Amino acid sequence: MLNEKDTLLLWRYADGDCTEAEAGSIRDRLQREPGPRQARDEIQVLQANLQAVEADQPSLRFTRNVLDQLPPATQRLEKIRLLPSAVIWRWATGIGLAIVASVMMLPTGTVNAPSAVGGLLEPMEGKVLESVSLWESLPQTWILTGSLALILILGLDQILKARLRNRHA
């Protein structure tokens, strides 16, 4: 019969948790003595059975039950924005059109109309030139400012959403 110290060493040997010297000593004893061999065999069988123990399983609805208990606000945060999408898109569309119009009116503001339809467009030329002069009178910085404002609004939207999410987490 092995004492507790020897048995503990055998377990450490089975776990691969002993020094080379200890392992060598164990191997010698296993060759010479039947007591340690029997204990080693029992430990091996027990280890195999312990490693084969299966986890208990909860009910089939377990995952659903947990998810159903999550805070409702968090479920909505995936989709909501703090600013309505329509507002953001109107800003973006307006600024985009303003930029395109500015580019088209450069540098002199004259509209080149095909000669075949020149007669039809001539009455409009005055109105176009008026519009162009209106565009040219607008400070270019307004458009730049509008773009920056849009970027700031989008950024603020993301920051506030993240803070709201963290508060609910």
Partner 1 sequence: MVITDEHLIQRTLAGSQAAFGQLIARYQDFVFSLCMRVLGSREEAEETAQDAFLKVYHNLSTFKQESRFSTWLYTLTYRTALDRARLRKRPVQALETDEYVLQVEDKSTAAPDANLHQADLQDQLEHAINQLKPDAASVVSLYYLQEQSVKEIAEVTGLTETNVKTKLFRSREALRDLLRQSLQQEARQMI
The DSSP code for 16 is: T
149 near partner 1 (CB under 8 A) = no
Binding mask 62-101 for partner 1 (x = CB under 8 A): xx-xxx-xx---xx-xx-----------------------
| CA 4 to each of CA 7, 8, 33, 36, 39: distance values in angstroms, whole numbers, following the listed order | 5, 6, 17, 12, 12
Binding mask 12-51 for partner 1 (x = CB under 8 A): ------------------------------xx-xx--xxx
Stretch that binds partner 1, among 60-68, 90-98, 101-109, 130-138 (CB under 8 A): 60-68
**Angle formed at CA 45 by CA 39 and CA 49, multiple of 5 degrees:** 140
128, two tokens: 């176009």
Radius of gyration, CA atoms only, the chain? 40
135 near partner 1 (CB under 8 A) = no
Dist CA 2 CA 49 (whole Å): 22
84, two tokens: 């309505």
Q: Which is nearer to partner 1, 42 or 125 (CB)?
A: 42
Three-class DSSP category at 71: coil
Q: Do residues 61 and 67 make contact, with C-beta atoms less than 8 angstroms apart?
A: no
60 near partner 1 (CB under 8 A) = no
Q: Which is nearer to partner 1, 5 or 127 (CB)?
A: 5
57 near partner 1 (CB under 8 A) = yes
Q: Interface with partner 1 by CB under 8 A: which residues?
A: 7-8, 11, 42-43, 45-46, 49-53, 55-59, 62-63, 65-67, 69-70, 74-75, 77-78, 165-166, 169
